[in-house]
Amino acid sequence: MLRIEDLHVEVGGRPILKGVDLHIKPGETHVLFGPNGSGKSTLLGAIMGFKRYRITGGRIVFKGEDITNLSVHERARLGIGVAFQRPPVLRGVSLGDLLRVTGNGRKDIDELALPLHLETFLERDVNYGFSGGEVKRSEMLQLLAQSPDLVLLDEPESGVDLENIATIGEAINQLLWKDGIRGQHCSRREFKEGRQKAGLIITHTGYILDYVPADLGHVLFDGRLSCSGLNPRELLGCIQKVGYADCLHCLQ
Ligand code: ADP
Ligand code: MG
Ligand code: MG
């Protein structure tokens, strides 16, 4: 689904990513850990194609196509979607209007909004006066309307209370599963067939792992992925024990 090769990215003239390699297959959910300022959001921004994140080397391949030089719009159309860490307020644009655009005119917006408890928010300006949890749920709703094949989530649980984390976890599972099939309710065959989408989730606390099954974890440190391709829960335990820099030693 996604193959990143030796990616170098500059932000504000400063090199942030210095050779990132990452391979995400269809059906896989990856988790990205890393200290503040290590470039996690930069990596998502570069995958999505935001101009601020200047790619100075390497390439990004999505579904076999080199997307390194494509616009955000083209990448979204190919099936990449992102939920921001700190989404902007959009005055004068109602959430319902935005959803009709991201959802390409789909008619089931009200149905999608129900489980996220956002059915009364559709007439309101996007994120204007929303609480932290409401902002994050509104991001999930935008992604559900878009239904991308590759789901990029930047700290989906940050600033969200425990009850809302469960709701967001449900939405993430719905996003990552074809037709919203849920893991615990299906056979092995259905499990394999249901998991065609892919996810990359940034998390600091790992709380979201209590709700969302994830396959592989990585640590972004010093501009590269280290401790790559390990079980996310084991990796989180190691980080908690010895810190980001030494997670490799902990696992050996
Ligand atoms: P993370 O998400 O891991 O906390 P970020 O990717 O947000 O880290 O940021 C990586 C580094 O890039 C940080 O040092 C941050 O201050 C810097 N940075 C982010 N945006 C800009 C910008 N617009 N101009 C200059 N530096 C930036
Ligand atoms: Mg960040
Ligand atoms: Mg959004």
Taking only the tens place, the pLDDT of each residue in 8-65 is 999 999 999 999 999 999 989 999 999 999 999 999 999 999 999 999 999 999 999 9
Rounded to whole angstroms, how far apart are CA atoms 129 and 46? Answer: 29
Q: What is the pTM of this model?
A: 0.92
Alpha helices in the chain (DSSP H): 40-48, 72-78, 95-102, 109-113, 132-146, 162-176, 188-194, 232-242, 247-251
User: In a 3-state reduction of DSSP, which class is residue 56?
Assistant: strand
Q: What is the pLDDT of residue 187?
A: 65
CATH of domain 2-87+150-171+183-250: 3.40.50.300
36 Cα nearest atom in ligand 1: 4
Ligand 1 touching residue 42 (CB < 6 A): yes
Alpha-carbon distance 150 to 198, whole Å?
Answer: 5
**Average pLDDT, integer, range 95-113:** 90
User: What's the whole-number mean pLDDT along residues 211-223?
Assistant: 94
pLDDT exceeding 70 applies to what percent of the chain? 92
For the chain, which residues make up each domain, given as ranges?
2-87+150-171+183-250
Q: Is the pLDDT of residue 182 over 70?
A: no
Q: Tell me which of 31, 42, 202, 205 to substitute to probe ligand 1's pocket, judged by most ligand atoms within 8 Å of the beta carbon.
A: 42
**Residue 154 CA: which ligand 1 atom is closest?**
2
pLDDT value, residue 79: 95
3-class state of residue 2 by DSSP: strand
The answer, yes or no, to whether any atom of ligand 1 lies below 6 A from the CB of 13, is no
